[in-house]
Amino acid sequence: MSALDTPELGVVPTDGGAHVVAPEAEMLSPNQRAWRRFRRHRLGMWSLWIFGAMFVLSLVAEVLSNDVPLVARYNGKLYFPLVDNPPEVEFGGDFRTPTDWSDPFIAARFAQPGNWAIHPPNHHSATSIEYFAKPPNPAPPSADDWLGTDSLGRDVVARLLYGFRVSVLFALALTAIGVVLGLLAGAIQGYFAGRVDLTMQRLIEIWTSIPELYLLIIFASIFRPSIGLLLVLLSLFGWVGLSDYTRAEFLRNRSLEFVKAARALGLSSAQIIWRHVLPNSLTPAITFLPFRMSAAVLSLVALDYLGLGVPADVPSLGDLVRQGKANLDAWWIIFPTFALLVVMMLLLTFIGDALRDAFDTRKS
């Protein structure tokens, strides 16, 4: 008896003939089969692990890079400055302002026997300035500043770490909003088609004809720059690309037999869209995510470079790019920033390629 005649094995037809599928593979859902295909894509899987590890480290940036100790002991009393930075008078100073832990006077107090402080691996935050540093800014890499300082005396490692977190969180938020709006607009166009589709297409064409950069410049001149304002403005245009893909999927799926059966059972349009058509139209949205995140990160970097992005007190990669251009001799500013951006884009691209292959039903 041949393998194709074995009752325990299933036969799946393909363009090139038939191939044998193990019974456990037949029991897997489409999403489970897609996850298996994704795991077989080693480059995409490793990229996902590396990007996830980088993002997790950035989420605990305060523990890894900060200008205040994690825990300190002074005269037999424990302090947790990372949670609540005590005033300087607690340690023999003259002021009631929060303690500046880079002050030589404070460092000398904690160098006394019985007093100690446990600092993060990097003793700088994204906004701390080296007031007591001897070299002029931007200072080259040293034992205190592993990648040197920028033109204002802020540690480059801390700026990269906190800037990476801001970029990824902004990209996640912008991608999530774009996916929701894109799926909603594309679903309405594709499912109802006809005049609804035609009307919405014309409205979208009118909307996308508005110059986005000019709109950003106008709002930046009226309102104080903020991440929230930037997120709202970019979200107004970031959903259009995904809506086109979703519309095409809905136009294809609305005429299939399972949709006709759902209509015959008396289900409402909202029920059919949510329960039946949408789950079978998510492939473009899922494969779209990493590339949308890449576009969001680059948009934020470009706007920060032009001075239209986040406020000056928020660490950003675009600000480091601008400083690197203004200080070409300070290679320690532009080179690590450029390397981090390249690594981010490559990882997201590899993840996107793996997702595209995983949801390609033509691949076994």
DSSP 115-153: -EEE--SB---SS---TT-SSPSSPPP-SSSTT-B-TTS
pLDDT tens, per residue, the chain with 364 residues? 444 444 444 444 444 444 444 455 557 777 788 888 888 889 999 999 999 999 999 999 999 999 899 999 998 899 999 888 899 888 888 888 888 888 888 888 888 898 999 999 998 999 888 777 778 888 899 888 899 998 888 999 999 999 999 999 999 999 999 999 999 999 999 999 889 999 999 999 999 888 888 888 888 888 888 888 889 989 988 888 889 889 988 998 888 888 889 888 888 888 888 888 888 888 878 888 888 899 999 999 999 888 888 888 889 999 999 999 988 888 999 999 999 999 999 999 999 889 888 886 655 5
Which one, of 247, 320, 330, 323, lies nearest residue 285 by Cα?
247
Write down the pLDDT at residue 12.
46
Write down the pLDDT at residue 120.
93
User: In whole angstroms, what is the distance from residue 308 CA to residue 220 CA?
Assistant: 6
Q: Is the CA virtual torsion 28, 30, 31, 34 positive or negative?
A: positive
Instruction: List the Cα angle 121/305/62 in 5-degree steps.
Output: 20
Bridge-partner residues for 98, per DSSP? 87
Write down the pLDDT at residue 9.
43
Q: What is the DSSP letter of 89?
A: G
Write down the pLDDT at residue 143.
87
User: In whole angstroms, what is the distance from residue 63 CA to residue 188 CA?
Assistant: 46
Residue whose entry in the numeric block shows the structure tokens 């779209």:
288
User: In whole angstroms, what is the distance from residue 348 CA to residue 47 CA?
Assistant: 7
User: In whole angstroms, what is the distance from residue 295 CA to residue 313 CA?
Assistant: 23
> Which residues lie below 8 Å from residue 105, measured CB to CB, with a gap of 6+?
93
Q: What is the DSSP letter of 277?
A: I
Write down the pLDDT at residue 263.
86
Q: Is 92 left (phi over 0), alpha (psi -120 to 50) or beta?
A: left
Bridge-partner residues for 117, per DSSP? 72
CA 98 centroid distance within chain = 33
Q: Is the pTM of this model over 0.95?
A: no
128 contacts 67 by C-beta, under 8 angstroms:
yes
Quick one: tokens of 189? 């166009």
User: In whole angstroms, what is the distance from residue 24 CA to residue 286 CA?
Assistant: 25
